[in-house]
Amino acid sequence: MADLAATRLSDKEDDFRPAGGLQLAARQLLRNPAATIGFAVLTLMVLAAIFAPLISPHNPIQIKLSAKLQPPSAVYWLGTDHFGRDVVSRLIYGARVSLSVGLLVILFSFSLGVPIGVLSGYVGGRLDATLMRLVDAFLTFPPLLLAVAIVGLLGPDIQNVMIALGVVQAPVLARLVRASTLAAREETYVTAVRALGASPTRIIVGHVLRNVLSPIVVQLTIGFSAAVVSEASLSFLGLGTQPPQPSWGRDLAEARRFMTDAPWLFLAPTLTIMLAVLSINFVGDGLRDALDPRSWVTRRRATQEADD
């Protein structure tokens, strides 16, 4: 009695008020505690970055050699660096650089990699061959080396670092999206929507892309973390953030020299980067699950097996 079982099934779902798919997904995301915490932490970091001049206890670039390498205290909550600059203030201002690098890099690689991957996978044929040859050419270089080369070409500047990191990440994303699209293209539901008269654009955006969103989100969270860390490396090489401007990565790189004398100098940006990366991974995991209705409530699947 499949029909009766299905009726009972839907009686239980009293929380199924009329809602769009997006609303349902958002509700699902908020039900995930790790994702909610991650989201809250990221929001705080973004707010801190925006309101940095208002909340910073000190000037992040003012040198005060009399106060150099001070351990954490009531005045300098997380101590000072070798120029006597307040670590807390540098972290708050550094969030501006690091978070924008992370966000803009994934935005850039998304808008470059996803269309290439989807087109390549869905259209196939000669377009696919051409695009993938290009993508593979980029993938043969070690990522950091490629980024260095691009920044070297464009000039050492934080905007160019973002462009370079985006260019480095886009091919990876394109490859992934292409593979997922190829798989989705062969699904019966894609043939079914074609049989219902959907246009190619509609199929790609509304059905294929919607189904490959989960792997994209996961890849983007990885990309964000990689961008924050790579910015550090490039800045360390003098290609990114120019001194005395603070950035988490730059400060971390400089702090390495004082690891034994002033461990707080090293720990503060490390933990901050870790916290940001962890938060974005939590949000990413939550998003991945929220975007896939099949993973929402396992209780229903169990009920449904009895029903078939």
Partner 1 sequence: MALLEVENLRTRFATDRGVVRAVDGVSFTLEQGEVLGLVGESGSGKSVTSLSLMRLIREPPGKIEADKLVFDGVDLLKASESTMSSLRGGKMAMIFQDPMRSLNPVLTVGRQLTETLRRHLRLDGDAARRRAIELLEMVGIPLAEKRLNSYPHQFSGGMRQRVMIAIALSCNPRLLIADEATTALDVTIQAQIVDLVKRLTRDLGTAVIWISHDLGLVAGLCNRVNVMYAGRIAETGSVRDVFYRPSHGYTVGLIGCTPRVDRVGAPLTLIEGRPPDLIRPISLCPFLPRCAVAIDACNKTMPAMNTIEAGHAARCHADLSVFHQKGAA
CB of 114 to partner 1, least distance (A): 17
CB of 14 to partner 1, least distance (A): 10
Toward partner 1, which CB reaches closer, 27 or 82?
27
Long-range contacts, stretch 47-54, CB < 8 angstroms, 24+ apart: 48/92, 48/95, 49/92, 49/93, 49/95, 49/96, 49/99, 49/100, 52/92, 52/93, 52/95, 52/96
CB of 301 to partner 1, least distance (A): 7
CB of 31 to partner 1, least distance (A): 16
CB of 6 to partner 1, least distance (A): 5
- Check if the beta carbon of residue 69 is closer than 8 Å to that of residue 258: yes
- Check if the beta carbon of residue 221 is closer than 8 Å to that of residue 283: yes
Toward partner 1, which CB reaches closer, 67 or 177?
177
Toward partner 1, which CB reaches closer, 136 or 187?
187
Nearest to 22 by CA among 290, 228, 303: 290
Binding site for partner 1 (CB under 8 A): 2-3, 5-7, 9-11, 13, 16-19, 21, 24, 125, 187-189, 191-199, 206-207, 210-211, 213, 291-294, 296, 300-301, 304, 307-308
CB of 188 to partner 1, least distance (A): 4
CB of 294 to partner 1, least distance (A): 5
Toward partner 1, which CB reaches closer, 72 or 124?
124
- Check if the beta carbon of residue 295 is closer than 8 Å to that of residue 285: no
CB of 7 to partner 1, least distance (A): 5
Distance from C-alpha of 198 to C-alpha of 170, rounded to nearest angstrom: 29
Q: What angle do CA 94, 100, 105 make, to 5 degrees?
A: 130
Distance from C-alpha of 28 to C-alpha of 285, rounded to nearest angstrom: 12
Burial of 273 (0-12, 13-18, 19+ CB in 10 A): buried
Distance from C-alpha of 36 to C-alpha of 39, rounded to nearest angstrom: 5
Phi, psi for 86 (deg, rounded to 5): -70, 125
| Three-state SS sequence of 52-87 | HHHHCCCCCCCCCHHHCCCCCCCCCCCCECCCCCEH
- Check if the beta carbon of residue 225 is closer than 8 Å to that of residue 275: no
Toward partner 1, which CB reaches closer, 12 or 256?
12
Toward partner 1, which CB reaches closer, 82 or 300?
300
Toward partner 1, which CB reaches closer, 157 or 292?
292
Toward partner 1, which CB reaches closer, 6 or 61?
6
Is the dihedral angle over the CA atoms 156, 159, 165, 166 positive or is it negative? Answer: negative
